[in-house]
């Protein structure tokens, strides 16, 4: 009996490693993809030199070179910085970014914890990520860092509301907080996916997600041209790498959630019985990849928002649209409109 319990703990740990390790590799190659894709969009080559054993391999070894470089660099503590909190901040960012992955279903039944309130859990975990930013900004004992932290706090609290409202629409449509059940509610081809009845909420969710992860064009918390690098201006070496890792893990998280909630998760866009209509984890990866590409595309395309415009967009545009559309969704649900409800 005791062996059963020990085996269960080991098995759970193995499953966690099986999620986190590929996630870190994906993060590494996302940074590579970002530099290459943005490079191509701007008529450059991007990093294409670092290869293995004398082969260039289109620069595929670049992420590893970057990782090694970051890990070998010294971690510098600013004068009068609060050392404990200074070191805790990147850990908090990374831990909350990874913890949210516990309830993400990759494929039917392929999920670490299939809990009933999965959607609320993810919202709770992603809302905790802001603490890493705030604590980093305060513990650095630097004006730029503090400014970045305050910007980030205001921005994340504002966009969390519209994001939460967008998810309420999904919740009404699917009738469940369980992510697997939400995906099951979208079975049967592209016409059954929730992005059609929830189109405004879908757009608002993804834009809020971009704002929530502090990515361009909402990256005022970093704002290289105004406040140097914002909340992580004092960080170097491995501590900076953790921030980097957390940010990219959150990007992948938002993308995969968009795929799960609005684009039918692991279901194929085709209906019928042919091989291409089979549900598969590959569909999930493709959809997630599409949203990640959007992230990079945004960064290559849009200039940074002005701060008051960000606040205006969040409070005066997104939230009213969300509230109206939630009522529309509720009416559609009551009258069983279309194939979705």
Partner 1 sequence: MIEYLLSGEFYQIMLFYVYSAILIGAALAVVTMRNSIYSALFLILCFFSAAALWMLLEAEFLALTLVLVYVGAVMVLFLFVIMMLDIKVKAKSGMSNYTKVGLLVALIMAIEMILLLGKKLVGVLPQDDLVKHAQGHSNVSEVATSLYMKYSLPFELASVVLLVAIIAAVLLTLRRRDDYKIVNPESQVHVKAKDRMRVVKMDAERGNNIGGEE
**Nearest distance in Å: CB 329, partner 1:** 17
* Cβ neighbours of 3 (radius 10 Å): 7
Positive or negative, the Cα torsion across 113, 164, 217, 298? Answer: positive
**Nearest distance in Å: CB 101, partner 1:** 16
**Nearest distance in Å: CB 144, partner 1:** 14
Give the DSSP per-residue string, 218-255.
S-TTT-HHHHTTGGGTT--HHHHHHHHHHHHHHHHHHH
CA 32 – CA 63 distance, rounded (Å): 6
Please select the residue that binds partner 1; options are 18, 21, 75, 157, rule is CB under 8 A: 157
**Nearest distance in Å: CB 143, partner 1:** 12
Q: Which of residues 176-195 bind partner 1 (CB under 8 A)?
A: 177
Please select the residue that binds partner 1; options are 115, 281, 293, 321, rule is CB under 8 A: 115
As a whole number of Å, the end-to-end CA separation of the chain is: 46
Q: Which of residues 70-99 bind partner 1 (CB under 8 A)?
A: 85
CA 151 – CA 34 distance, rounded (Å): 25
Please select the residue that binds partner 1; options are 116, 290, 297, 334, rule is CB under 8 A: 116
**Nearest distance in Å: CB 129, partner 1:** 9
**Nearest distance in Å: CB 80, partner 1:** 12
Contact at 8 Å (CB) between 101 and 19?
Answer: yes
Please select the residue that binds partner 1; options are 19, 24, 120, 196, rule is CB under 8 A: 120
**Nearest distance in Å: CB 220, partner 1:** 15
Which of 70/153 has CB closer to partner 1?
A: 153
Please select the residue that binds partner 1; options are 19, 70, 95, 150, rule is CB under 8 A: 150
CA 210 – CA 30 distance, rounded (Å): 15
Please select the residue that binds partner 1; options are 60, 70, 154, 203, rule is CB under 8 A: 154
Q: Which of residues 127-146 bind partner 1 (CB under 8 A)?
A: 127-128, 130-131, 134-135, 137-138, 146
237, two tokens: 């070496």
* 65 binds partner 1, rule: CB under 8 A: no
**Among candidate residues 21, 89, 97, 95, the one with its CA nearest the CA of residue 239:** 89
**Among candidate residues 256, 253, 232, the one with its CA nearest the CA of residue 244:** 232
**Nearest distance in Å: CB 281, partner 1:** 26
Positive or negative, the Cα torsion across 248, 158, 288, 94? Answer: positive
Please select the residue that binds partner 1; options are 124, 199, 323, 327, rule is CB under 8 A: 124
CA 241 – CA 227 distance, rounded (Å): 20
Q: What is the DSSP letter of 318?
A: I
**Among candidate residues 185, 207, 184, the one with its CA nearest the CA of residue 310:** 207
190, two tokens: 């592209």
Stretch of residues binding partner 1 (CB under 8 A), selected from 18-26, 35-43, 46-54, 155-163: 155-163
Stretch of residues binding partner 1 (CB under 8 A), selected from 49-57, 71-79, 112-120, 191-199: 112-120
Q: Which of residues 270-329 bind partner 1 (CB under 8 A)?
A: 308-309, 312
Count of all residues that appear for the chain in the document: 341
Q: Say what angle helices 143-174 and 319-334 make with each other, to 10 degrees.
A: 10
Q: Which residues would be at the binding site for partner 1 (CB under 8 A)?
A: 1-2, 5, 85, 115-117, 120-121, 123-124, 127-128, 130-131, 134-135, 137-138, 146, 149-150, 153-154, 156-157, 160, 177, 308-309, 312
């Amino acid at each position: 009996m005791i062996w059963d319990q020990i085996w269960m703990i080991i098995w759970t740990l193995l499953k966690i490693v099986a999620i986190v390790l590929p996630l870190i590799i994906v993060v590494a190659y996302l940074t590579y993809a970002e530099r290459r894709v943005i490079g191509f969009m701007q008529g450059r080559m991007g990093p294409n030199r670092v290869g293995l054993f004398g082969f260039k391999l289109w620069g595929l070894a670049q992420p590893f070179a970057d990782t090694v470089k970051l890990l070998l660099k010294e971690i510098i503590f600013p004068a009068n910085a609060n050392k404990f909190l200074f070191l805790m901040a990147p850990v908090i960012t990374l831990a909350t970014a990874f913890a949210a992955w516990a309830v993400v279903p990759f494929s039917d039944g392929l999920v670490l914890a299939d809990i009933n309130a999965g959607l609320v859990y993810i919202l709770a975990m992603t809302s905790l990520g802001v603490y890493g930013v705030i604590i980093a900004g305060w513990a650095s004992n630097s004006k730029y860092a503090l400014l970045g932290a305050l910007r980030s706090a205001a921005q994340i609290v504002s966009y969390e509301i519209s994001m939460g409202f967008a998810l309420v629409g999904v919740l009404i449509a699917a009738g469940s907080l369980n992510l697997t059940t939400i995906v099951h509610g979208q079975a049967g081809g592209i016409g059954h996916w929730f992005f059609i009845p929830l189109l405004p909420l879908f757009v608002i969710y993804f834009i809020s997600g971009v704002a929530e992860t502090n990515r361009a064009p909402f990256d005022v918390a970093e704002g290289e041209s105004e406040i140097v690098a914002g909340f992580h201006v004092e960080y170097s070496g491995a501590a900076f790498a953790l921030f980097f890792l957390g940010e990219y893990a959150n990007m992948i998280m938002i993308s995969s959630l968009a795929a799960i909630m609005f684009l039918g998760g692991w279901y194929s866009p085709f209906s019928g019985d042919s091989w291409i209509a089979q549900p598969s984890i590959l569909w999930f990866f493709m959809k997630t990849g599409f949203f990640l590409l959007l992230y990079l595309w945004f960064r290559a395309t849009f200039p940074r928002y002005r701060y008051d415009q960000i606040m205006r967009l969040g409070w005066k545009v997104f939230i009213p649209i969300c509230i109206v559309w939630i009522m529309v969704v509720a009416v559609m649900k009551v009258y069983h409109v279309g194939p979705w409800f």
